[in-house]
Amino acid sequence: MLLWITFFVVGLTVHVVFFLSIFDIYFTSPLVHGMTPMTTPLAPPASRLVLIVADGLRADSFFTLLPNGSSTAPYLRAIIEERGTWGVSHTRVPTESRPGHVALIAGFYEDVSSVARGWKENPVEFDSVFNESRHTWCWGSPDILAMFAKGASGDHVYTHAYPAEEQDFASTDASRLDSWVFTQVKSLFQSAKSNSTLMASLLQDQNVFFLHLLGIDTNGHAHRPMSQEYQNNIGLVDSGVAELVSVIEDFFGYDGRTAFVFTSDHGMTNWGSHGAGHPSETLTPLVAWGAGVQTPHKVTGDQFYQDGYLQDWKLEHLRRVDLNQGVLPVLYLNNSDLFKAECMYTNAIQILEQFKMKKKQKKETTLSCLFTPYQ
């Protein structure tokens, strides 16, 4: 009997050790801190970035034409055909809003240790485009905006969020959330005309304007992606973007120094869920145009994509540039070869600095273990 008890205790102990080792190995943050940020010496082509994220927008819902041959998003379809570069942004499991936005704005897949906190807090501080900007203005959901403002240094990330109770997944039509965002953005630029301090800030370079549009995601959960509410919300976002671009371009005198990026954090299944790895959840649209972005590239031959989407979406005549979410392919850049080379070189040096810092930290940890006094 004693032998069996001993065997059970030893077996249980071994299993607990193995279980805890999973968290120690895989749930340890991969992030490295302490490096000096690297910058390219060449002037950037854009003075400001407008990032628009349509939460929960799947690629096929956006790119597929209606039975009559028209587009659900005619303005952005025209951007694809006449002004910008497009592709499919491939997201990664878990296909949730927080990790998707972290990939887009901070450039890395969410720290896995966040899952233990329900993706709500920052277990490890991370840098982001917002933090490196001169000023960032954000509008949208309090759940998304708060986490980027929390980790920012100084006081240059300004968030404007609607009350959390407005995010009602049982709502008859959640597109009002997106209408609120567009109204607030237009109000900012209108206010600047009578506010010299705000005007001076807006006219500076290295500014970011971030619009988080939750309506499509909320309507998808409540009514499913094939519903009229979901489709109508895409149309509302499209017209809102068209008006927004007009307001911004007019405000800055059509100076050609604004870059626009429209994308999504994740898609959605036919039954209104997301989080797993089905293509409806992992394939999202990306459209970029404006300062420093390539214009449409006509294609006469076959492209290397074999998924059939080009034919389904009637876009086989335009170059498609896919990407992993948060990573910008060089083909999106419209600049000199020197500028592209400098950017790639700077990126490589930054990665090398991370490696050096990680190696240094590992060495210091080892030495501290060697010289820790015996207790």
- With a pLDDT cut of 70, the percent of the chain lying above it is 86
Q: Tokens at residue 241, please? A: 């973007």
Domain contains 32:
no
- With a pLDDT cut of 90, the percent of the chain lying above it is 63
* Band of residue 277 on the pLDDT scale cut at 50, 70, 90: very high
Identify which has the larger pLDDT, 351 or 290: 290
Match 């819902």 to its residue by tokens: 61
CA distances from 277 to 157, 215, 224 (A): 33, 22, 18
Domain contains 365:
no
* Band of residue 127 on the pLDDT scale cut at 50, 70, 90: confident
Domain contains 53:
yes
Domain contains 16:
no
Task: Show the domain range for 113.
Answer: 48-300+309-324
Least confident of 15-24, 264-273, 308-317, 361-370: 361-370
Domain contains 372:
no
Domain contains 30:
no
Number of domains in the chain: 1
* Band of residue 123 on the pLDDT scale cut at 50, 70, 90: very low
Strand order in the sheet with 48-54: 157-161, 135-140, 207-213, 48-54, 258-263, 283-290, 85-90, 323-324
In the predicted model, is pLDDT for residue 171 greater than 80? no
Domain contains 4:
no
Domain contains 43:
no
At 361 the pLDDT is 74
* Band of residue 176 on the pLDDT scale cut at 50, 70, 90: very high
CA distances from 212 to 22, 147, 201, 363 (A): 35, 13, 22, 42
**Domain CATH number, residue 135:** 3.40.720.10
Counted residue by residue, the chain has a size of 375
Tens-digit pLDDT profile for residues 37-93: 888 889 999 999 999 999 999 999 999 999 999 999 999 999 999 999 999 999 998
